[in-house]
Structure 1
Amino acid sequence: MTTLATRPTTSEQPALRTPPKKTSQRAALVVALVLGACFAALPVVWMLSSSFKTNPEIFEFPPRLVTPGFSFDAYTTILTDPTKLRFFLNSYVIALSVTALSLIVAVHAAYAFSRYEFWGKKTINVIVVSVQAVPPITLLIPYFGLVVALKLYNTYQGLILTYMVFTLPYAIIMMTGYFNTLPKELDEAVKVDGAGPLTALWRILMPISVPGLVSVGVYTFMICWNEFLFALTLTRTEDMRTVPIGIQLLMGQHSYEWNEMMAMSILGCIPVLILFLFFQRYFIGGMTAGAVKI
């Protein structure tokens, strides 16, 4: 009498193996990502290395990351120079002011676009999107004339208002998309309790819109912090220059202070790097949640 073969237990079953083709594809992907990361990081590593060198050592051949002249002289020169420190102060004041004002205006505008139907809504949406499509350089001369006519040339107010023109459309579009993902029943529940729309906005929607606010805030801060063209055109004196202009001013007529330029570039990267390190999770969530039609 034949006996039925017993089925092997789970522990006795052979382990599933990844097909060789998929393994090679994953390996190739990992190698490509590592090469891409090295290619992207190399300029930053070289910039950091150059900031600790003397100017002749930067151009020596063969190049070396660490040289005998390693020193913090470039950083000391920048951090002890009141004029160069003023560049950083100006950038912080302008970038933080534009970020705060853009968020305040964008939140209220986005709430109106998301929750209400009113005359001219589609037209205003088209205008907001159209502003994003206009190259900023084409508006340089008109804005220069307007800022001078309003007597805002070489002032914080002139730069802040100019930057808001370019940051507000994006902020409104992103916040509108984010509010569209939130159920309108939240607003209706607040109205049942006798509260108004502003209460619903600030007490209910704002606390759960942190990812959207962070993504818009980080993007706005980056735009203002890195902007060069309008900061150069709409300011005249050194006490109103920002960090990008300060780096450019280190390019003298007869010599370039390369190590100081690299050091100031590193110091200029730190604020944006800190923002990404602390708010990366919210930034990615806000960008993806707001990527819907308004």
Structure 2
Amino acid sequence: MSDVTVRHGRPNHWLKAAAFTGLVIGALYAGLPVLWMLATSFKGNGEVFAVPPKLITPGFSLDAYTAILTDPARLRFFMNSYIVAIAVTLLTLLTAMLSAYGFSRYEFPGKKLINIAIVSVQAVPPITLVIPYFGLMVALGLYNTYPGLILTHMVFTLPYAIIMMTAYFNTLPRELDEAVKVDGGNAWTALWRVLVPISVPGIVAVGVYTFMISWNEYLFALTLTRTDAMRTVPIGIQLLMGQHSYEWNQMMAMSILGSIPVLLLFLLFQRRFIGGLTSGAVKD
């Protein structure tokens, strides 16, 4: 009996060992570039090209961070990213919740066609829309403005947000709405007083995703802005690439600083984020 147990236990043991080894290799593959970026941000620009390359050098320096955090023009990039990303997140959440409630609780003509259109928008490569949106923003007088960037980002964040919020609302029983109506309330009351408070995990998941998409967006932030006063962090990093030289240490420092808001958001709302994704993906 013990021999059988051992024989059957060995494959399981090796399978776990192989899975653990694969996870370690994957973690190193994903984490080493980030570690190298962090180490480079604490080097002088000349040390970046040292041969042989060194992860840690004796010349530990904060010059790259000092150059960025004391430069008003570069701090402006961060302010622009915060303004655009926060506005996009709030407006997307508001619009998505209202739209999702309608899709989840009501039947109306053209509902399926609208759903198909929302899903189809997700399949359109953003680069194909650069020229049409450029012409549209110029015609509307929104070129090189916050509203122009915000509205453009919402085109790509809103479809996913509506799909996710609709799936999440579908998991909530309709009896909740009926109970509110029995107590004299209406659909507006049911949405804001009942569904929204118990949908916090789904709202957090959509909000974090939306913020990440807007914060990291590069293509339209480059195309729809003209002056440095309107540039966002991804464009600010690209501007550190000069014609004759690259400020590699400052690029890495700015990349680290630009990663912190998204990282903090995920760490603060990790449990709600994962819970919202799984709840919106399963319907009872």
Report the TM-score range of the alignment, normalised by the length of the smaller protein: over 0.9
Does residue 191 (structure 1) correspond to residue 168 (structure 2)? The answer is no
Q: Pick one of 65, 70, 76 that aligns with 1:75.
A: 65
Equivalent positions of 1:252-271 (< 5 A) are 252-271=242-261
- Structure 1 residues without counterparts, runs of 5 or longer: 1-15
Show the 5 A alignment for 1:112-261. Answer: 112-261=102-251
TM-score (norm 1): 0.93
Give 5+ residue unaligned stretches, structure 2.
Answer: none
Shift of 1:292: 5.1
Larger-Rg structure: 1
Cα distance, 1:173 vs. partner? 0.4
1:109 aligns with 2:92: no
The alignment partner of 2:54 has SS state of coil
> Normalized per residue, which structure has more helix?
2
CA deviations over 1:55-88 (Å, ceiling 9, x no partner): 2211212221221221100000000000000000
Task: Give me the CA root mean square deviation.
Answer: 1.3
* Cα-to-partner distance string for 1:172-230 (whole Å, 9 max, x where unaligned): 00000000001000110101000011111111111110111011101110110000010
| Number of equivalenced pairs | 279
Q: CA deviation at 1:31?
A: 1.1
Deviations 1:158-177 (A, max 9, x none): 00011111111100000000
1:33 maps onto 2:20 in alignment: no
TM-score for the superposition, normalised by structure 2 = 0.96
Counterpart selection for 1:278 from 245, 268, 278? 268
* Partners of 1:115 and 1:66 in 2: CA distance: 58
User: Aligned partners of 1:189, 1:104: CA distance in 2, in Å?
Assistant: 24
Name the aligned partner's letter for residue 188 of structure 2.
L
Alignment partners' CA distance in 1, 2:263 and 2:207: 14
Q: Which moved more, 1:104-113 or 1:19-28?
A: 19-28
**Higher alpha-carbon deviation: 255-264 or 65-74:** 65-74
Letter in 2 for 1:206: V
Deviations 1:17-54 (A, max 9, x none): 77121111101111110111011000000000000001
Distance in 1 separating the partners of 2:55 and 2:154: 41
Partners of 2:147 and 2:269 lie apart in 1 by 28
- Report the identity percentage: 72
